[in-house]
């Protein structure tokens, strides 16, 4: 079984909703166990348990909220250098488009990289003019179809990489597993 952790901080509740969609997508891949935890519920043991992690937060002042940062600065610090090789990706909400969610995803991935994780974005589009190249970014509450599909796709891709690389199930590689990657022809 691939083990996926969706770890988030949410102030208003919006990022919590996005986290649930990430988890939904992660569960689409067979033989994957998915756990969702907020940063107030999580412990280092949850991170140690997982093969892959989707890390999410609202964009506070262009970057990671202090509540999420504290977890990685303090709780995870004793494990630094000992948990290399997990697979990670990011999701972020923001007050409006252009509000820094991509920069926040980049910061979240930077934190994961220093723990030795391999991080990724998603080439796929989930609708015209809607993608998640550096992680899922949402403005406000996820309401439209595309705002729900983006986090689902992120979670699904995470489970696909975990299945392919950690579990060795090559048939789950996104280039061969046959799942739709673009809602329209690129040609």
The DSSP secondary structure of 123-179, one letter per residue, reads EEEEETTEEEBTBEEEESS--SHHHHHHHHHHHHHHHHHIIIIIS--GGG-TTTS--
End-to-end alpha carbon distance in the chain: 36
In the bound state with a second copy, the residue whose beta carbon lies nearer, of 23 and 136, is: 136
Instruction: Tell me how far, at minimum, the Cβ of 111 lies from a second copy, in Å.
Output: 5
Residues 6+ apart with CB under 8 A from 95: 59, 139, 140
In the bound state with a second copy, the residue whose beta carbon lies nearer, of 45 and 81, is: 81
Instruction: Tell me how far, at minimum, the Cβ of 110 lies from a second copy, in Å.
Output: 4
Residues 6+ apart with CB under 8 A from 80: 114, 115
Instruction: Tell me how far, at minimum, the Cβ of 88 lies from a second copy, in Å.
Output: 9
In the bound state with a second copy, the residue whose beta carbon lies nearer, of 30 and 62, is: 62
Instruction: Tell me how far, at minimum, the Cβ of 151 lies from a second copy, in Å.
Output: 11
In the bound state with a second copy, the residue whose beta carbon lies nearer, of 32 and 150, is: 150
């Amino acid at each position: 079984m691939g083990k996926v952790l969706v770890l988030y901080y949410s102030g208003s509740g919006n990022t919590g909703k996005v986290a649930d969609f990430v988890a939904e997508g992660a569960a689409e891949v067979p033989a994957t166990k998915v756990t969702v935890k907020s940063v107030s519920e999580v412990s280092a043991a949850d991170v140690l348990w997982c093969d892959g992690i989707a890390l999410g937060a609202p964009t506070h002042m262009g970057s990671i909220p202090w509540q999420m940062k504290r977890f990685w600065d303090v709780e995870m610090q004793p494990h630094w250098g000992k948990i290399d090789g997990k697979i990670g990706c990011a999701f972020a909400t923001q007050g409006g488009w252009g509000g820094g969610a991509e920069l926040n995803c980049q910061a979240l991935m930077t934190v994961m990289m220093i723990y030795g994780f391999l991080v990724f974005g998603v080439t796929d589009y989930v609708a015209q003019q809607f993608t998640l190249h550096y992680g899922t970014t949402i403005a406000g509450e996820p309401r439209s179809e595309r705002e729900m599909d983006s986090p689902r796709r992120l979670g699904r891709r995470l489970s696909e990489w975990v299945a392919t690389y950690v579990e060795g199930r090559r048939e789950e590689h996104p280039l061969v597993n046959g799942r739709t990657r673009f809602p329209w022809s690129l040609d």
